[in-house]
Structures are given as structure tokens and as C-alpha cells.
């Protein structure tokens, strides 16, 4: 047995470098000041700069080194609060909205990675929600079946499994989850932001906020601005009043969560995400390398400051991980902090005049941090956003019954691509995995459905244009082949070889 090192430096910090940025050393004028440079701060800064805003980021330490730097990088749309509980608390369409926001966040990360060719190890993977290792699984099966059914009804790619890979427990497979190296990703985002004219100042703690003129002071200098974004995990008061900020803090519950990591033989642990139904839950993911994999395992959450023997938390994780992967060579251990809200959803929105903040991400920090970037940048740019009312700290539109999620947001860009994640109107598309094709029945017609590696679906008639036979998917060649007379077609339906001369027509 090899026990993880006694220090608590996260794996993410030892496995990459991050560009360094100078302290704030002069007065400046900008459109937006972003305080904090984790996933929320750098995402909103990048999106605003891309839209033409002048943005300055102030960071008291190093970029992506504190809360985001201590993440487990579990990138999923599946919220800590169970979907059935979200439905009870918010209704079906609003529960769907919360998961839609998560999927949109993962898709946005994918877009940014592709646009800027960021080497962050991003990949779409399956996620498995399963019964705990040491509990009687019989009691969990029916609830997990209900979870899969409900998720499917709301348009998500979910499938109940009697035995989940790796853990051999009943569970639900959720497609279209993801993993990435968070600091490599944010290093790429920071580089893209600076290339757009953005400014980042490290070792520049925001120690005073001014209202007239509006600005933020750090290192004795002032950056004046139109808007302020507080992206500090546990929000600063900033331009808001102390009384309101104190009341807001009473809504938040802070928990410490523990993570260990270690090397395993490549391929021993499949490239996927796992988390169980326990409370607190445990979770597993993989960070692939050329000659080995790093398995990341976490859990043991407790309210911050309320555990006497925190070393025991690490020991218990080690014992649990070795039951799953006996030969793991432990190399790292660290802890992070998660913040929960009473209703299970984060608070994202305006916290004072011309000031925005975000907090309460629970175990979905990377996902909701990206959602916050989308919502806050849209707010500053005076654009509508489908999730603003849902995550608004007061939830005013929900409590007054003023928000129709589906009706009011059909024109948001996310909904132009939602079919890449299957959807309630095309449930049979869930059978089509990324990079694969399958003949499905859609509206009573056989359709050749292909989903590319980006998740975009191409639908063509499955009827060969030569003599009317049904084509089948050639897994090795990634083509549609006719078993009757040998015609072959590209995934897009174009002819590769005859006797067919016409492409497979588009399907309705």
C-alpha cells in the first residue's frame, strides 16, 4: 500500500503551469471589473471581452488556484439535488431548466476548447449514478429506475442499468457528461481573454469598493468601471449593504469535501464519471495519461469546522478506493469547499446596482460556474437568458408564477442545438452514441441516425436509393452499407460507391 503524500496540494496544481500576471500598479478605467479568477470570473471575463467589452480581472492570489484549483473536476449536468426533488420544489419544466443549464455549460466549454484549441483533456463521457458500494442495492433499484424514467421524460439521455461498470451496482447511465483538466482549461481561457484585450492582475486583492464614481481599489490603485462582478465563491459585500449581505450569508451552508488521487494502470478504470446515492456521496473520475491513468476519488463531506479528525476523512477515502481499485498508487490528497443553498440551486444574478455575484454551486462548481458566466455576461450585455429567473437569488419570477421557461426561451442559442443531446421529442435518438450510427424508427419511418463526436445528429432515410433495402451501420468503416446490393454511403448520406447513384434523402 502507498499512502498519499501528507501535503494537500491538488493534483491540478502539480500537473500543469499557469501564466503569471503582474500586480495592479496604476489607476485604470474599464467597462467591467471582475473580482476573482476561477471558473466563474474567467468565464464571464472572456465572454464579455469577446462581445467587445473592456474587462479587468483582479485576483488576490494566483488565477484558478483557490476554489476552482481544489475542485474534483466532476463536470456534469446532474445536480446534487436529485431530479425528483427538483421537480417537487420547482415543477417539471423548471427542473428540466436546471439540467438544461448544465448541458449548455458543458457545450459552451466544448465550444471554447475547440475554438481556441485548448489542450485541457476535454472529452464527453458517460456518467453513472449508482447505489453505494456498502449498502443493500435492492432498496435503491426502484428509485434509480424512477430517476432514469423521469430524466428521459424531460428529454435527457438516461438509461437504467442493473450493473454499472466498475462498481457492479444498479444505477443510471447519463450520456453527455464530461471531464477536463480545469487549470489547463482556464489557462487557455485566460490566454484567449488577454488576446481579446482583457487585463488580469494577480496579487491584487479588491480591498475597497466605491460607488461614485463606481470602482474597485487594489494595491492602492483604483479601477473605475460601469459594472462589477463578484466571482469569489463566497461573495464579497462589494457595493451592497452589509445588512443585506449578512442576511444573504445566512442562506448559505459551507461544507468541506475531500479528494484523493493516484496512478493506476491505463484502462483499469473506464473513462467515465461515477457518484453514488449516499449522503454525503462519493465520486470517481479518471484523468488519462499516455502510460497510466490518474483516478480521482472524493467525498466525506462535512460542515466546515465540524470534524475533529480530518485525517480520518482521507483514511476512509483510501480504504474505499482500494475496494474499487486495489492496486492504486496514491499520490495526492486535498480538500475543497462547497457551498449549498436551501433549495439546492445556486444564486446567480444582481446583488446590488451594477453588481453581479454567484454562489451556492454545491458539487457542480465547474458546471454552474460556467452557467454563471453565461447568465452574468448576458445581463451586462442586456441580452435575455433562459436561466436568469431560475437562479436569481430571490427567485421572484418563480414565486410569483411569472416565468414560463419553455415558452419564453425557445430562441436562445442553446435550443438551436438541443437535439445533439437527444430530447423529449426524439427519444429514440438516445440509442445513438457519439461517433456512431443506428437505424431507428422515427414517426413510423426508418431513419439512419448518425451522431458525430461533437454530438450533432444527422438524420437520413435508411432506405437505400438503389432498390429500397434498409441500410445498416458499419462500425469499423463508419459508413451506411446496403446488405442487398452493396451500396455504401457516408454518415451524411452521400454516396461512396454504387450501384446506388443518389444519396440517402434527408429524413423529416
Q: What is the three-class DSSP state of 16?
A: coil
CB burial class (10 A; 0-12, 13-18, 19+) of residue 342?
exposed
* DSSP H/E element including 301: strand 292-303
CB 43 within 8 A of CB 189: yes
Q: In what order do the strands lie in the sheet with 347-352?
A: 199-201, 55-58, 32-35, 227-230, 355-359, 347-352
Share of the chain above pLDDT 70, in %: 92
Cα 447 versus chain centre, distance: 31
DSSP β-bridge partners for residue 422: 420
Which three cell numbers mark 310? Answer: 480530518
Q: What is the mean pLDDT of the chain?
A: 88
Query: Which residues touch 394 (CB under 8 Å, ≥6 apart)?
Result: none
What is the predicted pLDDT for the residue at 433?
82
Around Cβ 165, how many Cβ atoms within 10 Å? 15
User: In the predicted model, is pLDDT for residue 508 greater than 50?
Assistant: yes
E strands, 341-383, where? 347-352, 355-359
Closest by Cα among 275, 272, 241, 240 to 362: 275
Q: For 315, list phi and psi in degrees, rounded to 5.
A: -60, -40
Radius of gyration of the chain from Cα atoms? Answer: 24
- Alpha helices (runs of H) in 400-469, residue ranges in sequence order: 405-408, 413-416
**Which cell numbers hold the place of 361?**
454551486
Q: Please check the confidence at residue 136 and state whether its pLDDT lies above 90.
A: no
Query: β-strands 227-230, 32-35: how paired?
Result: parallel
Q: CB atoms < 10 A from the CB of 110, how many? A: 17
* pLDDT grade for 47, boundaries at 50, 70 and 90: very high
pLDDT confidence bin for 446, thresholds 50/70/90: confident
Report the pLDDT averaged over residues 50-74.
Answer: 93
CA dihedral in degrees (147, 149, 151, 155; nearest 10)? 180
Mean pLDDT across 384-392: 91
pLDDT at 427: 47
Instruction: Report the pLDDT value the prediction gives residue 428, as an integer from 0 to 100.
Output: 61
**Phi and psi for 124 in degrees, rounded to 5?**
-80, 130
Flag whether pLDDT at 85 surpasses 60: yes
β-pair type (355-359, 347-352): antiparallel
Q: Measure the CA–CA gap between 80 and 461, rounded to whole angstroms.
A: 40
Please report the pLDDT score of residue 214 as a whole number.
Answer: 95
Evaluate if residue 405 carries a pLDDT over 80.
no
List pLDDT tens digits, range 466-505. 888 888 888 878 889 887 777 889 999 999 878 888 999 9
Q: What is the pLDDT of residue 404?
A: 75
Per-residue pLDDT reduced to its tens digit, 238-286? 888 776 677 677 788 888 889 999 999 999 999 999 999 998 889 999 9
Q: Give pLDDT, residue 305.
A: 79
Please state, for a pLDDT cut of 90, what percent of the chain lies above it: 60
pTM of the predicted model over 0.75: yes
Q: Of 62-71, 130-139, 463-472, where does mean pLDDT reach its minimum?
A: 130-139
* pLDDT recorded at residue 80: 93
**Arithmetic mean of pLDDT, 130-134:** 88
Is the pLDDT higher at 398 or at 179? Answer: 179
Q: Average pLDDT, stretch 89-103? A: 92
What is the reported pLDDT for 426? 40
- Residue 103: pLDDT band with limits 50, 70, 90: very high
Q: What is the pLDDT of residue 423?
A: 42
Tell me, rounded to whole angstroms, the distance of Cα 203 from its chain centroid: 28
pLDDT at 416: 56
Report the alpha-carbon distance of residue 272 to residue 218 in Å, rounded: 42
pLDDT at 161: 94
Residues 1 and 322: beta-carbon distance below 8 Å: yes
Which stretches does DSSP call E strand in 317-408? Answer: 329-340, 347-352, 355-359
Question: Residue 376 has what pLDDT?
Answer: 97
**pLDDT tens sequence across 339-373:** 999 999 999 999 999 999 999 999 999 999 999 99
Characterise 248 by phi-psi region: left (phi > 0), alpha (psi -120 to 50), beta (else): alpha
Residue 408 banded pLDDT, cuts 50, 70, 90: low
Q: How far apart are the C-alpha atoms of 308 and 290, rounded to whole Å?
A: 40
C-alpha–C-alpha distance, residues 296 and 258, integer Å: 11
**Res. 2: pLDDT tops 70:** no
Q: What's the mean pLDDT in 283-312?
A: 89
Amino acid at each position: 500500500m502507498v499512502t498519499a503524500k501528507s501535503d494537500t496540494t491538488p493534483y491540478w496544481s502539480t500537473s500543469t503551469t499557469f501564466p503569471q500576471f503582474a500586480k495592479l500598479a496604476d489607476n485604470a478605467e474599464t467597462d467591467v471589473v471582475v473580482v476573482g479568477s476561477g471558473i466563474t470570473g474567467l468565464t464571464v471575463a472572456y465572454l464579455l471581452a469577446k462581445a467587445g467589452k473592456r474587462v479587468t480581472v483582479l485576483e488576490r492570489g494566483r488565477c484558478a488556484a483557490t476554489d476552482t484549483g481544489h475542485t474534483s473536476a466532476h463536470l456534469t449536468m446532474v445536480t446534487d439535488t436529485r431530479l425528483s426533488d427538483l421537480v417537487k420544489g420547482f415543477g417539471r419544466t423548471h427542473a428540466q431548466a436546471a439540467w438544461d443549464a448544465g448541458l449548455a455549460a458543458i457545450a459552451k466549454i466544448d465550444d471554447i476548447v475547440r475554438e481556441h484549441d485548448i489542450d485541457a483533456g476535454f472529452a464527453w463521457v458517460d456518467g453513472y449514478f449508482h447505489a453505494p458500494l456498502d449498502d443493500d442495492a435492492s432498496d435503491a433499484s426502484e428509485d434509480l429506475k424512477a430517476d432514469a424514467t423521469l430524466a428521459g421524460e424531460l428529454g435527457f439521455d438516461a438509461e437504467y442499468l442493473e450493473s454499472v461498470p466498475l462498481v457492479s451496482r444498479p444505477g443510471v447511465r447519463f450520456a453527455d457528461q464530461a471531464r477536463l483538466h480545469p487549470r489547463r482549461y482556464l489557462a487557455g481561457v485566460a490566454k484567449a481573454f488577454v488576446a481579446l484585450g482583457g487585463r488580469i492582475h494577480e496579487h491584487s486583492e479588491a480591498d475597497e469598493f466605491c460607488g461614485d464614481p463606481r470602482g474597485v481599489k487594489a494595491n492602492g490603485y483604483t479601477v473605475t468601471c460601469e459594472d462589477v462582478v463578484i466571482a469569489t465563491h463566497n461573495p464579497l459585500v462589494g457595493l451592497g449593504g452589509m445588512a443585506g449581505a449578512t442576511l444573504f450569508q445566512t442562506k448559505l451552508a459551507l461544507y468541506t469535501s475531500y479528494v484523493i488521487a493516484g496512478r493506476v494502470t491505463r484502462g483499469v478504470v473506464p473513462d467515465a464519471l461515477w457518484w453514488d446515492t449516499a449522503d454525503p456521496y462519493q465520486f470517481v473520475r479518471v484523468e488519462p495519461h499516455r502510460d497510466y491513468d490518474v483516478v480521482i476519488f472524493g467525498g466525506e463531506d462535512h460542515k466546515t469546522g465540524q470534524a475533529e479528525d480530518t485525517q480520518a476523512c482521507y483514511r476512509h477515502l483510501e480504504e474505499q478506493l482500494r475496494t474499487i481499485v486495489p492496486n492504486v498508487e496514491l499520490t495526492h490528497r486535498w480538500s475543497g469547499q462547497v457551498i449549498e443553498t436551501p433549495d439546492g440551486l445556486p444564486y446567480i444574478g444582481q446583488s446590488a446596482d451594477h453588481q453581479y455575484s454567484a454562489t451556492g454551486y454545491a458539487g457542480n462548481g465547474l458546471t454552474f460556474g460556467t452557467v454563471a458566466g453565461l447568465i452574468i455576461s448576458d445581463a451586462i450585455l442586456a441580452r435575455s437568458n433562459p436561466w436568469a429567473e431560475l437562479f436569481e437569488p430571490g427567485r421572484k419570477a418563480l414565486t410569483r408564477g411569472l416565468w414560463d421557461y419553455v415558452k419564453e426561451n425557445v430562441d436562445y442559442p442553446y435550443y438551436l442545438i438541443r437535439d445533439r443531446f437527444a430530447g423529449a421529442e426524439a427519444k429514440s435518438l438516445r440509442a445513438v452514441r457519439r461517433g456512431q450510427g443506428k437505424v431507428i424508427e422515427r414517426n413510423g419511418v426508418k431513419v439512419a441516425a448518425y451522431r458525430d463526436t461533437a454530438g450533432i445528429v444527422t438524420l437520413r432515410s435508411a432506405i437505400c436509393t438503389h432498390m429500397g433495402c434498409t441500410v445498416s451501420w458499419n462500425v469499423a468503416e463508419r459508413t451506411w452499407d446496403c446488405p442487398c446490393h452493396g451500396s455504401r454511403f457516408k454518415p451524411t448520406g452521400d454516396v461512396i460507391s454504387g450501384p446506388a447513384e443518389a444519396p440517402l434523402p434527408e429524413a423529416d
